[in-house]
């Protein structure tokens, strides 16, 4: 039995039932502890522990352009962290691909939130930004999505202005909603962020994306400018067609900005130093890991089909493989609790 207030709570154990008297403050503490045990990012305005959002703000304060490889699961997030990067981006394109679909809004909120939770819990300390697509519904749905991603441990969430069903920003057939709808989406996302902060239950940055370049560059810039006035922390103008357009965006829109360096896409691939000179804070590589993984796996499958030894360049040593997936960390953590730790070998 549990009723909030000075009422009775009966937890059941295997041997007895113990009676506690809980206040609403006790309940708040209990909920916080439960959320933390489930991988939720801790939040306290008076705490010295930085939230994921705080860590991203600190990275922006360096005024450098971060190279951000995109991931889609715990393993790829671990690889990004092990390579020494400070930030990763959960790509909707890659999450969709890993589930067997193209990036055409076939993956649901719950599937994306589950991926976000897996990724954030796999790489403590690494800043994770998440693709929130169009928010998976109306403005109330957007608020739920923002809060869900914050509780999953993400530092920022991207919300965009495409018309459903949304799709990859570098393929044909995409359309955007009208300005009023686009601005309402971003306003709902910012409201959700502010509600989390006011209630001291979380924090997350809002990355507002526009695909309005399909209409005109002027329209795309106007939307980004309004996103900032509404309260977006970061903006993203998708698919500019030249370095000159990228410079125009950075000149006319204030605040942190993101560039999408997609191999084979509509936007020119620039060197990191060029992006930093233009004024970008983030340079995401959305398909680099996915594309390289696909090519390597196809090569390995061709070798298996031909019944030849897999090319050594495609295979890490078994020792390296165990390190990448976390056996070394596991055995080290296990040491205080067992007398002997078995190393080497596998089932």
Q: Would you state the structure tokens that stand for residue 229, as one six-digit string?
A: 């006035």
Q: How far apart are CA 231 and CA 66, in angstroms?
A: 22
Q: Which of 130, 215, 144, 235 is nearest to 175 (CA)?
A: 215
Whether residues 107 and 246 fall in one domain: yes
Whether residues 87 and 200 fall in one domain: yes
| pLDDT in the model for residue 29 | 41
Whether residues 280 and 241 fall in one domain: yes
Q: Which of 93, 155, 32, 153 is nearest to 285 (CA)?
A: 93
| pLDDT in the model for residue 257 | 98
Whether residues 265 and 342 fall in one domain: no
Q: With the CA atoms of 205, 30, 45 and 191 taken in that order, what torsion angle do they form, in degrees rounded to the nearest 10?
A: 40
Whether residues 144 and 212 fall in one domain: yes
**CA dihedral for 135, 90, 72, 325, sign (positive or negative):** negative
**Length of the chain, in residues:** 347
Whether residues 250 and 326 fall in one domain: no
Q: Would you state the structure tokens that stand for residue 143, as one six-digit string?
A: 């608020």
Cis peptide before 165 (omega within 30 of 0): yes
| pLDDT in the model for residue 75 | 97
Whether residues 111 and 201 fall in one domain: yes
Whether residues 12 and 59 fall in one domain: no
- pTM, two decimal places: 0.83
The reply to whether 14 falls in a domain is: yes
The reply to whether 297 falls in a domain is: no
Q: Would you state the structure tokens that stand for residue 141, as one six-digit string?
A: 């749905």
Whether residues 175 and 33 fall in one domain: no
Q: Which of 138, 83, 88 is nearest to 116 (CA)?
A: 88
Q: How far apart are CA 150 and CA 117, in angstroms?
A: 10
Q: How far apart are CA 196 and CA 248, in angstroms?
A: 34
Whether residues 65 and 187 fall in one domain: yes
Whether residues 93 and 234 fall in one domain: yes
The reply to whether 299 falls in a domain is: no
Q: Would you state the structure tokens that stand for residue 149, as one six-digit string?
A: 């991603």
CB-based contacts of 125: which residues, under 8 Å, 6+ apart? Answer: 55, 81
The reply to whether 301 falls in a domain is: no
Strands 234-237 and 205-210: what pairing? parallel
| pLDDT in the model for residue 42 | 45
The reply to whether 1 falls in a domain is: no
**CATH number of the domain within which 63 lies:** 3.20.20.60
Whether residues 190 and 236 fall in one domain: yes
- Number of separate domains in the chain: 3
The reply to whether 46 falls in a domain is: no
Each of the 347 residues of the chain gets a pLDDT tens digit; together they read 444 444 444 443 333 333 333 333 443 443 343 344 334 444 544 456 789 999 999 999 999 999 999 999 999 999 999 999 999 999 999 999 999 999 888 999 999 999 999 999 999 999 999 999 999 999 999 999 999 999 999 999 999 999 887 877 677 778 999 999 999 999 999 999 999 999 999 999 999 999 999 999 999 999 999 999 999 999 999 999 999 999 999 999 999 999 999 999 999 999 999 999 999 999 999 999 999 999 999 999 999 999 999 888 889 999 999 999 999 999 999 989 987 545 555 55
The reply to whether 302 falls in a domain is: no
Three-class DSSP category at 87? strand
The reply to whether 24 falls in a domain is: yes
Residue 12: give the domain boundaries.
7-37
């Amino acid at each position: 039995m549990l009723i909030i207030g000075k009422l009775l709570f009966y937890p059941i154990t295997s041997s007895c039932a113990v009676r506690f008297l809980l206040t609403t403050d006790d309940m708040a503490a209990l909920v916080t502890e439960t959320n933390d045990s489930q991988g939720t990012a801790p939040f306290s305005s008076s705490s010295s522990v930085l939230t994921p959002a705080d860590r991203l703000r600190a990275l922006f304060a360096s005024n450098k352009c971060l190279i951000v490889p995109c991931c889609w699961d715990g393993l790829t997030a671990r690889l990004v962290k092990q390579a020494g990067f400070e930030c990763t981006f959960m790509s909707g394109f890659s999450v969709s691909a890993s589930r067997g679909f193209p990036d055409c809004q076939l993956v649901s909120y719950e599937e994306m939130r589950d991926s976000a939770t897996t990724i954030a819990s796999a790489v403590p300390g690494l800043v994770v930004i998440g693709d929130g697509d169009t928010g998976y519904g109306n403005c109330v749905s957007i608020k739920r999505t923002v809060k869900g991603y914050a509780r999953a441990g993400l530092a920022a969430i991207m919300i965009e202005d495409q018309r459903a069903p949304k799709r990859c920003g570098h393929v044909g057939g995409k359309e955007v909603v009208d300005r009023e709808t686009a601005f309402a989406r971003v306003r709902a996302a910012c409201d959700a962020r502010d509600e989390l902060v006011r209630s001291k239950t979380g924090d997350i940055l809002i990355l507002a994306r526009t695909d309005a370049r399909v209409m005109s560059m002027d329209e795309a810039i106007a939307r980004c400018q309004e996103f900032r006035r509404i309260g977006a922390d970061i903006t993203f103008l998708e698919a500019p067609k030249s370095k000159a357009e990228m410079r125009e965006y950075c000149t006319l829109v204030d605040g942190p900005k993101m560039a999408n360096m997609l191999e084979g896409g509509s936007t020119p691939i620039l060197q990191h130093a060029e992006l930093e000179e233009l004024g970008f804070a983030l340079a995401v590589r959305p398909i680099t890991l996915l594309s390289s993984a696909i090519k390597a796996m196809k090569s390995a499958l061709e070798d298996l089909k031909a019944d030849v030894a897999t090319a050594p360049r495609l295979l890490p040593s078994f020792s390296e493989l165990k390190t990448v997936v976390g056996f070394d960390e596991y055995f080290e953590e296990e040491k205080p609790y067992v007398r002997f730790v078995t190393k080497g070998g596998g089932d």
